[in-house]
Amino acid sequence: MSYIPSDIAAGFSNEYDQFFDYFSREFIVHKEPIQVINQVQNTTLYGYGESSDSINYSYIPVTGIYKGRIYYNNSRDVDSVNSELKLIFARGDVTLKVKQPARDFIAEGRTLKIEFDGKSWNVITEDIIKTYLDKKYYVYGLEQAK
């Protein structure tokens, strides 16, 4: 049972989705590159070991460009607010909120880094599902690469 009628809920959901898209920004996800063997060299120079074989492979970069909401955390480190209460701010420089296609690309394989604002970021958390009525969004914590 829902307190909001389905037609009104659908309208709210679509409005929030438009709000999300309007304030979304592009980011680039860099995945582990694909190694391609160019030529197989069967003959080796005996007596010189395997290092006499020339390198016969190359790498193809795997990237994806997606849009999402980027939230900068004002506190860059874990700061204690009150030593008696043991309150701390969440760790991580940035929170990234994305839709399903970006989440699938980030979750598949190994993500090396995410780039936006001219900086590189490492994913430091698993995705957290945030729902708004019938829409699902996925949130990641990012930390600036050193």
pTM of the predicted model as reported, rounded to 2 decimal places: 0.75
Q: How far is CA 140 from CA 47, 94, 97, 120, in A?
A: 52, 8, 6, 15
Beta-ladder partners of 93? none
Query: Exposed, middle or buried: residue 142 (CB in 10 Å: 0-12, 13-18, 19+)?
Result: buried
- Residue partners of 56: CB distance under 8 A and separation at least 6: 37, 38, 39, 40, 41
Over residues 124-145, the pLDDT tens digits come to 999 999 998 889 999 999 999 9
Token pair recorded at residue 5: 């009628």
Query: Exposed, middle or buried: residue 96 (CB in 10 Å: 0-12, 13-18, 19+)?
Result: buried
Neighbours of 20 (CB within 10 A): 18
Over residues 39-73, the pLDDT tens digits come to 666 666 666 655 555 667 889 999 999 999 999 98
Residue 139 and residue 103 in contact, taking contact as beta carbons nearer than 8 Å = no
